[in-house]
């Protein structure tokens, strides 16, 4: 279930707390520098004084008040940083060390959600659907070809190499993947391998079972979310996550809403050049019958298709 407003507020409160902690840590480091390098305090006071003096003159009508100010501050700063480094400290020792330098732990850049905030939300979605726990075991490091029959093993090696290539070139190459095969043939495992790899590299990854995806979108569309459990930007998350994984396409009840929403998702993500991985137990023929010609055409032309030729490997690994 997607995060509630209360959970989203908790995330923002966490950002506030982080900024407060990091600011206090920076203040303590600055006091440490003042104690070990006494001239630094006088330099910082001098920078503050000349800045305030120039501002006061400007307010009083002196339009030349700031002339030469930048050069004076740069000169004092150069002396300051030289003293810090001469005493064995990095020049940025007293600066605030943000978890995310891009947004400085605010969660926003120019009123747009930062990638770190989007990932924070997505990580919460994963945690709620128990995907994070699955990724501890379902990743490339734990991939085992021996659970496949000799007949299926060669095919799975090709799928595995394609998945590794997908993650290795993810930042520079727009690609989509469609996994087709019987129940238990390893499609979800492979999807989780990809998710784990990209999450570790800092990309945003959003996972939905097909049923939950369309159920969530229906709540947003038809205003059936009386408990306010679905955030208003659900569609934006679905459209803009670096990677969207739709697992078990075909397990939802096919209807006009599902068909239209699926096409909209495929189309919007294609326009944004955002990759998608879809898995399904359906055959090509069943996909064509279940969904519109437009959806089928998108899948056929815009996705690299991989067949998982195996029986239920979950039984063979017991």
Where do we find the tokens 């379902």?
138
Where do we find the tokens 């947003």?
220
- As averages over each run of 10 residues, the pLDDT of the chain (318 residues) reads 72 95 96 96 95 91 88 94 96 95 95 89 66 76 80 86 96 96 88 88 85 90 60 79 93 92 95 96 92 91 89 46
pLDDT at 71: 93
pLDDT at 231: 55
pLDDT at 240: 87
Angle at 135 between CA 129 and CA 141, to 5 degrees: 170
Do 215 and 253 contact (CB within 8 A), yes or no?
Answer: no
pLDDT at 138: 82
pLDDT at 63: 86
pLDDT at 287: 92
pLDDT at 314: 45
3-state secondary structure string, the chain? CCCCHHHHHHHHHHHHHHHHHHHHHHHHHHHHHHHHCCHHHHHHHHHHHHHHHHHHHHHCCCCCCCCCHHHHHHHHHHHHHHHHHHCCCCCCCCCCCCCCCCCCCCCEECCEECHHHHHHHHHHHHHHCCHHHHHCCCCHHHCCHHHCCHHHHHHHHHHHHHHHHHHHCCCCCCCCEEEEECCCCCHHHHHHHHHHHHHHCCCCEEEEEHHHHHHHHHHHHCCCCCCCCCCCCHHHHHHHCCEEEEEEECCCCCCHHHHHHHHHHHHHHHHCCCEEEEEECCCHHHHHHHCCHHHHHHHHHHCEEEEECCCCHHHHCC
pLDDT at 36: 96
Cα–Cα distance, 149 to 141 (Å, whole number)? 20
HSE (side-chain half, CA atoms, 13 Å) at 102: 11
pLDDT at 251: 92
Cα–Cα distance, 195 to 191 (Å, whole number)? 6
Please, which residues have CB within 8 angstroms of residue 287's CB and are 6 or more apart in sequence? 249, 250, 280, 296, 299
Please, which residues have CB within 8 angstroms of residue 315's CB and are 6 or more apart in sequence? 184
The predicted model scores a pTM of 0.64
Cα–Cα distance, 181 to 286 (Å, whole number)? 12
Residue-range domains of the chain with CATH: 5-101 (no CATH), 129-316 (3.40.50.300)
């Amino acid at each position: 279930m997607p995060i509630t407003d209360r959970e989203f507020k908790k995330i923002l409160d966490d950002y506030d707390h982080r900024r407060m902690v990091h600011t206090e840590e920076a203040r303590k480091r600055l006091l440490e520098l003042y104690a070990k390098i006494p001239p630094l305090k006088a330099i910082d006071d001098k920078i503050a004084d000349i800045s305030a003096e120039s501002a006061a003159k400007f307010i009083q009508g002196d339009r030349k008040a700031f002339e030469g100010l930048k050069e004076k501050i740069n000169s004092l700063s150069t002396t300051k940083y030289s003293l810090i480094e001469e005493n064995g400290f990095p020049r940025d020792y007293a600066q605030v060390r943000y978890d995310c330098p891009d947004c400085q732990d605010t969660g926003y850049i120019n009123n747009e959600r930062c990638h770190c905030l989007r990932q924070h939300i997505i990580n919460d979605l994963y945690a709620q659907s128990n995907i994070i726990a699955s990724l501890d075991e379902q990743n490339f490091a734990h991939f085992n070809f021996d659970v496949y029959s000799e007949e299926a093993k060669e095919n799975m090696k090709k799928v595995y190499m394609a998945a590794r290539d997908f993650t290795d070139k993810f930042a520079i190459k727009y690609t989509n993947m469609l996994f087709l095969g019987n129940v238990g043939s390893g499609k979800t495992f492979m999807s989780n391998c990809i998710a784990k790899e990209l999450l570790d590299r800092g990309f945003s990854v959003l996972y939905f079972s097909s049923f939950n995806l369309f159920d969530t979108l229906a709540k947003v569309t038809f205003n059936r979310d009386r408990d306010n459990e679905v955030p208003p930007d659900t569609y934006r998350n679905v459209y803009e996550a670096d990677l969207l994984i739709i697992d078990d396409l075909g397990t939802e009840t096919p209807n006009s809403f599902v068909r239209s929403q699926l096409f909209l998702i495929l189309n919007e993500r294609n326009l944004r050049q955002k990759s998608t991985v879809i898995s399904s137990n359906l055959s090509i023929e069943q996909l064509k019958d279940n969904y519109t010609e437009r959806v089928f055409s998108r899948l056929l032309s815009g996705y690299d298709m991989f067949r998982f030729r195996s029986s239920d490997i979950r039984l063979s690994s017991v």
